[in-house]
Amino acid sequence: MSEYQYYEFTAVDRPLTAREQAVLRSLSTRADITATSFVNTYQWGDFKGDPRKLMERYFDAHLYLANWGTRQLMLRLPKHVLDPATVARYCVGDSASAWTAGKDLIVHLHREDEDGTDEWDLDGHGLLASIIPVRAGLAAGDRRLLYLGWLRCAQSLELADEEPEPPVPAGLGTLDASLTAVAEFLCIDPDLIAAAAAASAQAAVEPTAAQLRTWVLQLPTRDKDAILTDLITGSDGHLRSWLLRRYRDAHPTDASATKAPRTAGKLLATAAHLRAERERRDAEQREHDRARRERSAAAARQRHLDALAVDQPNAWQQVSELIATKKPREYDTAVQLLVDLRDLGERDGDTAPFRQRLAELRTVHARKPSLLERLERAGLDV
pLDDT tens track for 292-301: 999 999 999 9
Query: Taking a C-beta distance cutoff of 8 angstroms, is the pair 227, 243 a contact?
Result: yes
Query: What are the two backbone dihedrals, phi and then psi, of residue 347, each rounded to the nearest 5 degrees?
Result: -65, -40
Of 99, 115, 116, 117, the residue nearest 107 (C-alpha): 99
pLDDT number for residue 118: 62
> Where does residue 190 fall: left (phi above 0), alpha (psi -120 to 50 degrees), or beta otherwise?
alpha
Contact 144, 204 (CB under 8 A): no
Q: pLDDT-derived band of residue 235, with 50, 70 and 90 as boundaries?
A: low
In one-letter notation, the amino acid at residue 333 is T
pTM exceeds 0.85? no
What is the arithmetic mean of pLDDT over 235-249? 72
User: Does residue 247 or residue 22 have the better pLDDT?
Assistant: 22
Count the Cβ atoms, other than its own, within 10 Å of residue 119: 12
Q: Any idea what DSSP says for residue 14?
A: S
DSSP secondary structure string for all residues of 169-189: PTTGGG--HHHHHHHHHTT--
Domain boundaries, the chain: 5-204+253-279, 311-377
Q: How far is CA 342 from the centre of its chain?
A: 50
- Output the average pLDDT for the chain: 90
- The pLDDT tens digits of the residues spanning 324-356 come to 999 999 999 999 999 999 999 999 999 999 999
Give, to the nearest 10 degrees, the angle between helix 264-310 and helix 144-155.
90
Q: What percent of the chain has pLDDT over 90?
A: 75
Q: Is 260 helix (H, G, I), strand (E, B) or coil?
A: coil
Rounded to whole angstroms, the Cα distance separating 324 from 327 reads 8
3-state SS assignment for residue 250: helix
236 pLDDT band (50/70/90 cuts)? low
Average pLDDT over residues 298-321: 94
Enclosing H/E stretch for 207: none
Query: Which band of pLDDT confidence, cut at 50, 70 and 90, is reported for residue 220?
Result: confident
> For residue range 142-183, what is the model confidence (pLDDT) as tens digits?
999 999 999 999 999 999 999 999 999 999 999 999 999 999
pLDDT for residue 320: 94
